[in-house]
Amino acid sequence: MRSEPTILHVDLDAFFASVEQRDKPSLRGKPVVVGGVGGRGVVATASYEARTFGVHSAMSTAEARRRCPNAAFLSGRFHAYRDASRAVMDLLRSISPLVEPLSLDEAFVDLSAAALPDLSVTSVSALGRELKQRVHEVTGGLSGSVGIGTSKLIAKIASDLDKPDGLVVVAPGMEQDLLRPMQVTVIPGVGPATAERLRRVGVHTVEDLEGLTEEELVRLLGKAHGSGLHALARARDDRSVEPERETKSVSVEDTYDTDHVDKRLLEALLDRQAAKVTERLRRARISGRTVSIKVRLHDFSTVSRSATLSAPSDDVRQIARVARRLFAELDVSGGVRLLGVGVSGLADWIQEDLFADDEATAVEVPDEATEAAIAAASRHRGWAPGMDVVHEAHGRGWVWGSGRGVVTVRFETAKTGPGRVLSFSATDPALAPFTPPEE
DNA sequence: TCTGGGGTCCTAGGACCC
DNA sequence: TCTGGGGTCCTAGGACCC
């Protein structure tokens, strides 16, 4: 927690719905619901007019239609949201270089890096007002709610206090007075499951939460969540604004209007998703080592499977093949409601050839020994012997570390077909010919 | 016609290594 | 061939957020 109110949180009001109303005057003043319009859709954003009918985000669209049959139901125009979001984020970055977007419609700004005469409540309040005015201008009429405080926690809670079109600045020293009477669910990270656990031990408000020791909270919620909540309950929060957060995973998933049972259809859908994921990896110039699938069954239970490759890949066929293999292990005879493919363990796409200059002591060995080494190493790594290794190398190189040294196997590219082993070398000549480890 | 899609972070257990 | 501890990696699932 800082001594001055230097963290600002902006949240655009009913963002998707507001963009629709901005672009289509006939929708202004009327209930608008943006989200999935299919049989299994849910509401992403409801305009304030729709909210008066009890429609809110995450509600099923079917329920929303029941509550507000006259609303306009729209599936959304993401490029328009992205454009509006970009205008706002650019605006924020003109105020301070330290901007952390949380989503299209939300961001933290660190005002300690902004050009301000001082960081008094008066001064940051004036900045907040001006910001709201300029958000209105750069977006062609959208409003945002702004919260300013001495920490992320306080700024975020503050922006929610006077929605829509609000501005709340929490003066330094007032943090605990603000939090104590509130429900524990105002703390980001306290969702239904955590709230229920806390309720069972008689904790409803932040003040109640303060009554628990860190040990008690850790016992109840686990180490990270428990000690984190112990601090936040006391308004202790020194998380910094992180302008550049790296992507950790890329995924695609689809819920189908009816459950699918046809395995061949499902495999084709999986292939398509693998292609979409790969396309996004390539656009971002990244690749990934871990391929995951997600399957939601007819009863809404969800299973996931993943497999980690020896090297990062952005190869459609390889990712699709791994996805299919993982899928084949599952019993989906009851029907599949949702299917998804994801890639994590991301790395820069352009990989240096780590082994290019490492050949000084390299010793060439016969192909037979190479194949044996690959087979042994692949068993060692838990792969099916032989088959995946060549593809997984993806034209780079591949290292197997053992207690006795490092063995490098080089491949030609796998893009034009199954790769071929080009050479085999060891950093220590004593290792060649390589002896496969015992099973 | 209950329950999206894109993510992040955490936990727990097992394998493996030293 | 007895016992153990720590660290890392991997996998599956869960909670949470917008």
Segment A343-365, tens digit of pLDDT? 999 998 754 444 443 333 333 33
> Average model confidence (pLDDT) for chain A?
85
Cα dihedral across residues A402, A408, A414, A419: positive or negative:
negative
Given a cut of 60, whether residue A428 has pLDDT beyond it is no
Q: What distance in Å separates the CA atoms of residue A297 and residue A156, rounded to the nearest whole number? A: 36
Given a cut of 90, whether residue A340 has pLDDT beyond it is yes
Banded pLDDT at A248 (limits 50, 70, 90)? very high
Better pLDDT: A413 or A90:
A90
SS3 A358: coil
* Lookup result for tokens 């499977």: A305
Q: What distance in Å separates the CA atoms of residue A180 and residue A236, rounded to the nearest whole number? A: 13
pLDDT at A350: 57
pLDDT at A349: 73
Total residue length of chain A: 439
Residue closest to A257 by CA, chosen among A338, A185, A320: A338
Active site residues of A: 106
pLDDT at A417: 31
Strand B proximal to A262 Cβ, under 7 A? no
Given a cut of 60, whether residue A432 has pLDDT beyond it is no
Q: Give the pairing type, strands A43-46 and A167-169.
A: unpaired
Let me know: does A159 contact A168? Beta carbons within 8 Å: yes
Given a cut of 60, whether residue A155 has pLDDT beyond it is yes
Whole-model pTM?
Answer: 0.81
CA–C1' A226–C5 (A): 26
* Lookup result for tokens 């044996």: A372
Strand B proximal to A216 Cβ, under 7 A? no
List all nucleotides in chain C with at least one atom under 7 A from a protein Cβ. 9-18
Banded pLDDT at A415 (limits 50, 70, 90)? very low
* Lookup result for tokens 């390589």: A434
Quick one: angle between helices A121-138 and A78-95, nearest 10? Answer: 150
Quick one: angle between helices A214-221 and A192-200, nearest 10? Answer: 120
List all nucleotides in chain B with at least one atom under 7 A from a protein Cβ. 1-12, 16-18
Helices in A99-213 by DSSP H: which ranges? 121-138, 152-159, 175-179, 192-200, 206-210
Residues 6+ apart with CB under 8 A from A401: none
pLDDT at A361: 30
Q: What distance in Å separates the CA atoms of residue A218 and residue A191, rounded to the nearest whole number? A: 17
